[in-house]
């Protein structure tokens, strides 16, 4: 089978930047007063925590949740959190999670877990998700674009002329190992494409070419652009 020569062999992807002991003795003597101190070696202390956190908040609105927690032996509890939203603060003394998300914070923070502990006993709330939504009537903000350009291949991997080139595909995403977004350019003569709607952060781009029968080349080397 003839394959398209990978665009990485002939293409250039460029970007226009315009825009963390058990006992062994014979006898055992028992102090008759020991029964009054049985609790000292009896049931261990336990911690409990409860509460139902809100799972949604609108941009610009104050979010606040404080769990109810207790310790069976009256010990002092401290709190910790896993996967806290970047827009919120957490109080290790009270367990309060609070904050006011901005427009750039829209989306979900998943698997948030709040835990209470007294040094020996711990208890955790079930994992929960908080979704930040845009203020009604306000579009989700986007902050930039990237222009991806390339040189089209002219031959197949076996050296024969490429005569049925049909177009290109731009793969992109915020992880260079997982370019999950795809834009198709159905034109054999195209040499660039503007990717829009990019939020802040570093984005990676790679290009493939494809023929009229659906054969697709390997991806080019990835290029990147940081949107701020």
Calculate mean pLDDT across residues 141-166: 90
> For the ranges 31-45, 53-67, 81-95, which has the lowest average pLDDT?
31-45
| Of 200, 143, 206, nearest in space to 179 by CA | 206
Residues sharing a CB contact under 8 Å with residue 142, sequence separation 6 or more, in sequence order: 196, 197, 198, 199
Domains of the chain: 7-17+141-227 (2.60.40.10), 60-133 (2.60.40)
CA distance 74 to 206: 59
Q: How confident is the model at residue 215 (pLDDT cuts 50, 70, 90)?
A: very high
Calculate mean pLDDT across residues 4-20: 37
Radius of gyration for the chain, computed over Cα atoms and rounded to the nearest angstrom: 30
* pLDDT tens per residue across span 176-204: 998 989 999 999 999 999 998 888 889 99
Calculate mean pLDDT across residues 83-99: 95
């Amino acid at each position: 089978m003839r394959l398209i020569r990978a665009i990485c062999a002939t293409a250039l992807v460029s970007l226009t930047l315009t825009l963390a002991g058990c006992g062994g003795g014979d006898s055992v003597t028992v102090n008759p007063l020991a029964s009054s101190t049985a609790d000292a070696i009896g049931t261990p202390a336990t911690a409990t925590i409860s509460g139902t956190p809100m799972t949604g908040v609108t941009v610009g609105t104050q979010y606040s949740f404080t769990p109810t927690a207790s310790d069976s032996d009256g010990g002092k509890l401290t709190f910790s959190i896993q996967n806290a939203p970047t827009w919120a603060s957490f109080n290790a003394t009270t367990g309060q999670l609070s904050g006011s998300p901005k427009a750039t914070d829209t989306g979900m923070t998943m698997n948030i877990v709040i835990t209470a502990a007294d040094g020996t006993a711990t208890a955790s709330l079930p994992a929960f998700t908080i979704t930040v939504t845009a203020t009604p009537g306000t579009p989700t903000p986007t902050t930039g674009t990237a222009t991806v350009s390339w040189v089209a291949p002219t031959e197949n991997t076996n050296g024969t002329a490429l005569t049925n080139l049909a177009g290109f595909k731009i793969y992109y995403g915020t992880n260079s190992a997982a370019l999950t977004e795809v834009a198709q350019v159905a034109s054999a003569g195209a040499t660039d494409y503007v990717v829009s709607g990019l939020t802040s952060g570093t984005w990676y781009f790679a290009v493939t070419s494809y023929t009229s029968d659906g054969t697709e080349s390997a991806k080019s080397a990835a290029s990147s652009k940081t949107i701020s």
